[in-house]
Amino acid sequence: MSRLAIILTLAALSTSSAIFAGNATQAVPEYDATLKTHAQLPAQSFVLPPKNAPLYFNQSGRFTAKDNHRMSTAYGIYDDVTKLARPFPGQPLQGFSGIRSLGNNQFLVLTDNGFGTKANSPDAMLMFHEITADWKSGRVIIDKTTFLSDPNNKVPFPIIDETGKQRYLTGADFDIESIQPVSDGYWFGDEFGPWLLKTNKNGVIQNVIATQIDETLYTSPDNAFVKLANPGKDAPPIITKRSGGYEGMAISRDGKTLYPLLEKPVYDANTAASETINGQPVLRILAFDNVKQQWKDSIRYYPLAAASHAIGDFNMIDAHRALIIERDSGQGDPREGWAPNPAQFKRIYLIDLREVDEKNVLRKIAYIDLMKIKDPDGIAPRGTQDGIFSFPFVTIEDVDRVDEETIIVANDNNYPFSVGRQQGRADDNEFILLNVANFLKAK
């Protein structure tokens, strides 16, 4: 290689991230992101259960002690880090793990399954919201909250509210992480099954669909039908890892196809290891026919930059291209020096579902770095140093296109546990608009 070629190669890599896909190393160009505006919903935001819900749901967080034993005394569980106590009166409006832009600064957001696990969330109600972002005041307004329920007994296993009239669903029943509106209701992607859930516009379950493609049944350790084996017996087949089910789920522009994306690589029983292609850790993107209500046999593979990474959200921006959040497990701004495991890798990638190699591994077209967002005018109320704003949350799980130049990004604050913005303080739900015009045009 000539000296000039070497110089050009080094210059390209200085502004790119290299990943391995197929049989070639691919340089992924980085694009700038500039903060346009910022709004937030305070961490301590709550909603009352529906009037026809059992009184049991008037309190939440009873099972969030380290041993998951019940604590019914209000505020009986104390958190040394955030100085907050639980159980709470009412239901926290926390953990937004899916978003869709509705236009006019209105958004559809999905509250996560509760307090992080199946064991500690049986009193956390599943719900989604229509919100308005008032960018001038920096406030987030909850316009409407809808709770998921199963009065028609469509869920094929026992639920927490099994004997209730409305049969409201909880974070011990499903871990819903993605939402897509359709003409007659909503689709949700779940991590426990992993399941696809279909509801009407009132959040009433219409169908619960297992993930079975050809002869492969996808199950996780939290699947309601998985039974632990007796000592000496073979363990049941597990394909997806715990907290590795459907984290993101895009929908085609014509509404005919859902694209559920697993959060973590599947477990390969043949190698007793996480799935890789040519040594590259990959996540499976499946396809579901929304019209015929059946799985397609096509599988695409999203290449992770590191095996320890996970994805946060996945939405189409046109007929073929999509945005995917890829993140590490760190939290806290490394510039501040207080976080034991600070955030390092928080990116949004642009992909095209048509652009795959011979093994169906997708090409990463471009990315933006959420740890170095330009904020020259000091718009952000916190998190900007020397004109650079960071989004240092452990779980950034919301991204969608707003217009041809702008995307919205938000965090899942895992209330009351995540501490990424400020030492010793539970994270708020932060919403930001980013100007990424060149990024959205990348090819």
pLDDT band at 6 (very low <50, low <70, confident <90, very high): very low
Contact by Cβ (8 Å): 430, 405: no
Percent of the chain at pLDDT > 90 equals: 86
pLDDT band at 3 (very low <50, low <70, confident <90, very high): very low
pLDDT band at 234 (very low <50, low <70, confident <90, very high): low
Contact by Cβ (8 Å): 192, 175: yes
Name the one residue in this structure whose structure tokens are 């019914």: 72
Q: Which two tokens stand for residue 230?
A: 């007796």
pLDDT of amino acid 431: 98
Q: Which of 223, 196, 225 is nearest to 209 (CA)?
A: 196
How far is the first Cα of the chain from the last one, in angstroms, to the nearest whole number? 27
Q: Which of 414, 415, 405, 407 is nearest to 431 (CA)?
A: 407
Domains and their CATH numbers in the chain: 3-440 (2.115.10)
- Residues ≥6 apart with Cβ < 8 Å to 84: 44, 78, 416, 426
pLDDT of amino acid 10: 36
pLDDT band at 233 (very low <50, low <70, confident <90, very high): low
b/e code 134-144 from CB counts within 10 Å (16+ = b)? ebeebebeeee
pLDDT of amino acid 271: 74
pLDDT of amino acid 38: 98
**What is the per-residue pLDDT across 236-266, written as a single tens digit (0 to 9) for each?**
677 898 888 999 999 999 999 999 999 999 9
Q: Which two tokens stand for residue 337?
A: 């020096």
Q: What is the mean pLDDT of residues 181-187?
A: 97
The chain-wide mean pLDDT, for the chain, equals 92
Counting Cα atoms < 13 Å in the Cβ hemisphere of 124 gives 31
pLDDT band at 18 (very low <50, low <70, confident <90, very high): very low
pLDDT of amino acid 273: 86
1 residue type, one letter = M
Contact by Cβ (8 Å): 426, 395: no
Angstrom distances, CA of residue 201 to CA of 103, 111, 142, 198, 428: 18, 16, 17, 10, 28
